[in-house]
Amino acid sequence: MEISPDEKPLARKGSLKGVLGGNGFTTFQTCTQGSPSKDQEVKVVACNTPHMAEAVPAGVVSLGKSTDPAPSKEQMNAIANEKCTKAVHDYLGSTKRTDVFPAWRNPGSQAWSEGWTNAVCYAEANKAFSGTLLGIRDNPLPN
């Protein structure tokens, strides 16, 4: 589902086939004004505005089936940590950064019961930035 910056569903006409290929991901990428790893709630913002984190491709991690009991927070974190760390390092093109790190959002119990059983991986910076972290390697954060 596509969502607006105010997190409301958007209607879309036509096929979505191939929409995320090539540079398409950046059109629908989610960025957050706050910290996905620390804040209870985060505001979704356009990725061309100042933000703290950006969702990464290959960064949706299945944590189980909605028909199964929800894993504990520790179990969710263990699953997400492994997969999100790799996804973020691939996205950045670096494993050495200390100012950008893997982060994720796990579903709560209400979300799990509604079928949201995935963690979403983010590349989170220690300060707000504009631009993208895609392929940044060990270069300075974009202004």
**pLDDT one digit per residue (tens) for the chain, 143 residues:** 555 666 566 665 666 565 555 554 555 688 999 999 999 999 999 888 999 999 998 889 999 998 999 999 999 999 999 999 999 999 999 999 999 999 999 999 889 989 999 999 999 999 999 999 999 999 999 98
State the SS3 of the chain: CCECCCCCECCCCCCCCCCCCCCHHHHHCCEECCCCCCCCCCCEECCCCCEEEEEEEEEEEECCCCCCCCCCHHHHHHHHHHHHHHHHHHHHCCCCCCCEEEEEECCCHHHHHCCCCEEEEEEEEEEEECCCCCCCCCCCCCC
Question: What digits encode the pLDDT tens for the residues 29-68?
Answer: 889 999 999 999 999 998 889 999 999 988 899 999 989 9
- The two tokens of residue 25 are 């991901």
Kindly report the average pLDDT of the chain as a whole number. 87
The pLDDT of residue 57 is 86
Distances (CA, A) of 136 to 89, 94, 99: 10, 8, 12
Spatial contact of 136 and 94, defined as CB atoms under 8 Å apart: yes
The pLDDT of residue 122 is 97
The pLDDT of residue 15 is 65
DSSP-assigned beta bridge partners for residue 31: 45, 54
The pLDDT of residue 14 is 65
DSSP-assigned beta bridge partners for residue 125: 100
Cα(110)–Cα(107) distance, integer angstroms: 8
- The two tokens of residue 33 are 């004004």
The pLDDT of residue 84 is 97
Which residues does 1 contact at the CB level (< 8 Å), separation at least 6? 9, 10
